[in-house]
Chains A and B, each alone.
Chain A
Amino acid sequence: MRMRENTILRVAAKSLLPFFFLFAFYVQFHGDFGPGGGFQAGVIFAAGVVLYGLIYGVDAAKAVIPKPWVEVGVALGVLIWIATGVATMLEGGRYLEYGKLDVAHPVHGQHLGILFVEFGVLMAVASGMTLIFYLFAERGR
């Protein structure tokens, strides 16, 4: 709790955090064109929450990203994967055959499918890492 008096860390962290989250989303949506994707974006997003929690206390972090959200987020990430697969099956394709998502333009369908599943990965990884951090921090007091 001595962290609370550490002005330099508090100011530096607060001014860095917006860029953390912006960078996470940049990595997520630019993953098709450069290095990056759901896994990296998820970990960067979680690292931002962890930094905030380390410096301002876990309760402050939980006020921003409540624990029930991340608990649901892990399951939702996996569900988005499953839903994408089921959607392609309903369109008459095989499981995770993204081309069927847009019958007229299979390439566009592929882009759509990759966007969905990468979002699922982002949800699962970001929520999972944040939740693990919360659990360890709760145990510590």
Chain B
Amino acid sequence: MSAYLGLWHYHACIVLMMVGLFAVISRQHLVKKILGLTITQVSVIMFFVAMGKVRDGTAPILATMEAEAVATAARDVDYSNPIPHVLMLTAIVVGVATNALGLSFVVRIKASYGSAEEDEILAADHETSKRESAAL
């Protein structure tokens, strides 16, 4: 058990991820689903950033430009890994843009169905298809 104790940061991220996923699949209101998606997204970002952390390391902003000193610091892993930071930094901004796209879909759905609750939308769809098959 204690062999896995060093992984608790990852496990905490996964628990948060699952709370977000629960909000996505168990709630009816579409905006609530998108809020749950935001929680999941931030938790995934947290998971990636946690992998880039180096114990006793510091933020990847160089203290000196001296080639020799930087090479030593890079070999001794004095700086945390910048690669997950870069990937996640862009993912956050893209995430808010795609979230806005999702919210605009919800607004349009509300405009045409008169409701943003999932079960009412499904019931309206069911009603329409039943009416269409009766007309045939």
Task: Say how far A27's CB is from chain B's closest CB, in angstroms.
Answer: 13
Interface centre among A34, A42, A132 (most CB of B within 10 A): A132
Q: Which residues of B lie under 8 Å from residue A125 when comparing CB positions?
A: 93
Q: Which residues of A lie under 8 Å from residue B90 when comparing CB positions?
A: 39
Which residues of B66-99 are within 8 A (CB) of A?
A: 89-90, 92-93, 96-97
| 17 A-B contact pairs sorted by A residue (CB < 8 Å) | A34-B61, A35-B59, A37-B89, A39-B89, A42-B93, A43-B93, A43-B96, A125-B93, A129-B96, A129-B97, A132-B97, A132-B100, A136-B100, A136-B103, A136-B104, A136-B107, A139-B107
A128 at the interface (CB under 8 A from B): yes
Using a CB–CB distance below 8 Å, which chain B residues touch chain A? 59, 61, 89-90, 92-93, 96-97, 100, 103-104, 107
Task: Say how far A119's CB is from chain B's closest CB, in angstroms.
Answer: 16
A135 at the interface (CB under 8 A from B): yes
Closest to A34 in B: B61
In the bound complex, how far is the Cα of B97 from the Cα of A37, in angstroms? 18
Q: Which residues of A lie under 8 Å from residue B104 when comparing CB positions?
A: 135-136
Which residues of A23-52 are within 8 A (CB) of B?
A: 33-35, 37, 39, 42-43
Q: Which residues of A lie under 8 Å from residue B89 when comparing CB positions?
A: 37, 39
In the bound complex, how far is the Cα of B94 from the Cα of A42, in angstroms? 12
Closest to B103 in A: A136
Q: Report yes or no: A39 in contact with B93, Cβ–Cβ below 8 A.
A: yes
Q: Which residues of A lie under 8 Å from residue B97 when comparing CB positions?
A: 128-129, 132
In the bound complex, how far is the Cα of B89 from the Cα of A74, in angstroms? 19
Q: Report yes or no: B61 in contact with A35, Cβ–Cβ below 8 A.
A: yes
Given contacts A42-B93, A129-B96, 11 further A-B pairs with CB under 8 A are: A33-B61, A35-B59, A35-B61, A39-B89, A39-B93, A43-B93, A125-B93, A132-B97, A135-B104, A136-B104, A136-B107
Q: Which residues of B lie under 8 Å from residue A43 when comparing CB positions?
A: 93, 96
Q: Which residues of B lie under 8 Å from residue A33 when comparing CB positions?
A: 61
Q: Which residues of B lie under 8 Å from residue A39 when comparing CB positions?
A: 89-90, 92-93
Q: Which residues of B lie under 8 Å from residue A136 when comparing CB positions?
A: 100, 103-104, 107
